[in-house]
Amino acid sequence: MSLSLYPWQQSCMEAWFHNKGRGIVQVVTGAGKTFMALSCAHQLDANYQGKLKIRILVPKTFMVSQWKSFILDQHELFGIERQDIGIWYGLHKDPPDRKVMLYVINSARLSFSRHLLADLAEGTPIMLIADECHHYASEENRRIFEFLPEVPSQALSRLHTLGLSATPQTEGFEQVLVPSLGPLIYAYGFSEAMHHRVINNCTLYNISLPMATEEQLQYEKYSIGIRRLISRLHLRTTGSDVRELGQFFIRIRKLTGDADPLVARRAKQLIMLLYKRKALVYEASARVECAFQIITRLDPNSRIIIFSERISQTEMLYELVEAQWPGHVGRYHSKMGEVARTRALQRYREKEVRILVCCRALDEGFDIPAADVGIVLSGTSTERQRTQRLGRILRRAEGKLVSSLFYLYLDGTVEDHALFAESIEDVLEFDLQYVGQPHGFAHPVYDQLASRIVSQEIDRGMDENKIAWLQQFLQLGQLRTDWLLDADVLAQRVKNSHSQVQRNYWMCMVRMARTR
């Protein structure tokens, strides 16, 4: 059976082989990195008449089962049997002579090097796939590459390396990853993947949230203290660039060990205030309230993933949503037992639940089926985390046309007012405001069009009762992407409606599409 590849996968394979089977690939989550990597291995194995051994390195234990399942699911294409796959982590250590070996880095730093050197000494060609390769540049993890200087020069041509990541650029990229795995040979971003219909189109909503009066007063109190301590410590930060802020925090931490006890004490006080202010921003009461209101306004069949930074916040929203839609929501966080976490993911995969509320744990590596909607309840300022979260909702699925991502931020604070510093081509972006109940949301672009339609009908003499219904249906579409669809597509949905309520809603969306 021949391989069916996306054009980007074919181009990426060609670039990797052109670079003699070495290099790092930067590809967005959900575009098919795993399939591309195994396709490279399949072709390389054919070049070596079936003698290739494949060594896959992963940073987290759960990724072992995902890789193994994916390989077995593609058995007819790649011809790899269950008995050909070995695992090496914790107490589970299969014989390392199998065709495919999956290693978790924490358990494999020493064994991995020993196994590869032994295989190369026997003349065996090796392909090393380093999944989520940005992990391997840290001081501890980079030890996995210490075997490379020991590889005999005549064996180097038989060692092939492929680094995979949506975000490979990290501290140590040039110093560790490039010398070990090869240069960046291919990049495939959100815009290209959307344009080629490899992943879904996306609409991004940046929603500003109000602070409660008590929160606002406390925030200002923390900020005054922070500014005073920064001045006394003669520190300076000139912007909000993540790398610059990272260096700023490193300087503060160094000062906590200063020989001058006054300087050390002030640095510790500054760190404490910064953490307290950060916690206040993350835990603002409007976040859970706003997220709940978003969910109530979405299509009741939407599949939703909610990302949070706090377990308490995750639990609070879970309880609210579960009370509203019993049996339709799952939760996932580190304080749950392993069985409960596994069951939560299984229920979401098998569509027993359509809403999954999680705390950080799903940011990277987890193979989660396509979601229609993502809600960033709270999040860090790291571009890596934000890229992973967007990728979670962009996987293509049958019948899914446009994905939505809602990013909630606290107005009047240091929190970023947009999910990404720079706009992504082909991602439609709107700035909204949550004004609390009963008014809900202000969506200037949508509201202006909706107001125009209502005014037109009032001028035509529509009675008050029908105007009220019209406003209700228009409000229902405010946080959905239906009005962005082509008018002809929406007209077909009018015809396919199963009830008068559905028909009226889709007729309103047709009006919105034609008005815009």
Out of 51-60, 240-249, 319-328, 432-441, pick the least confident: 240-249
């015809």: which residue's tokens? 495
Query: CA-CA distance, 199 to 424, in Å (whole number)?
Result: 14
Tokens of 62: 């759960």
| pLDDT tens string 443-486 | 999 999 999 999 999 999 999 999 999 999 999 999 999 999 99
Q: What is the mean pLDDT of residues 170-198?
A: 88
Tokens of 397: 């699925």
Q: Which residue has the higher pLDDT, 244 or 6?
A: 6
Q: Is the pLDDT of residue 194 over 60?
A: yes
Confidence at 166, pLDDT banded by 50, 70, 90: confident
**Dihedral pair phi/psi, residue 54, rounded to 5°:** -110, 125
| pLDDT tens string 1-24 | 567 899 999 999 999 999 999 999
Asked if 321 contacts 355 with a C-beta cutoff of 8 angstroms, the reply is yes
| pLDDT tens string 255-285 | 999 899 999 999 999 999 999 999 999 899 9
Q: What is the mean pLDDT of residues 50-68?
A: 91
**Residue 241: its pLDDT value, please?**
46
Asked if 394 contacts 202 with a C-beta cutoff of 8 angstroms, the reply is yes
Domain 7-188 and domain 200-211+284-435 have a common topology:
yes
Q: How far apart are the first and last CA of the chain?
A: 48
- In 12-167, where do the E strands start and end? 22-27, 53-58, 85-89, 92-93, 100-104, 126-130, 159-165
Q: Is the pLDDT of residue 233 over 60?
A: yes
Share of the chain above pLDDT 70, in %: 90
CATH T-level fold of 200-211+284-435: Rossmann fold (3.40.50)
Confidence at 192, pLDDT banded by 50, 70, 90: confident
**Residue 242: its pLDDT value, please?**
45
**Residue 386: its pLDDT value, please?**
59
| pLDDT tens string 373-405 | 989 888 665 555 656 666 666 666 555 567 888
Tokens of 95: 């014989």
Ranges of each domain in the chain:
7-188, 200-211+284-435, 213-280, 443-515
**Residue 157: its pLDDT value, please?**
92
Span 7-188 CATH architecture: 3-Layer(aba) Sandwich (3.40)
Tokens of 209: 């949230």
Q: What is the mean pLDDT of residues 361-375?
A: 67
On the CB side of 447, CA atoms within 13 Å amount to 10
**Residue 191: its pLDDT value, please?**
78
Q: How many CB atoms lie within 10 A of CB 405?
A: 25
Q: What is the mean pLDDT of residues 145-155?
A: 89
Confidence at 343, pLDDT banded by 50, 70, 90: confident
Q: What is the mean pLDDT of the chain?
A: 88
Q: What is the mean pLDDT of residues 24-38?
A: 91
Query: CA-CA distance, 439 to 435, in Å (whole number)?
Result: 6
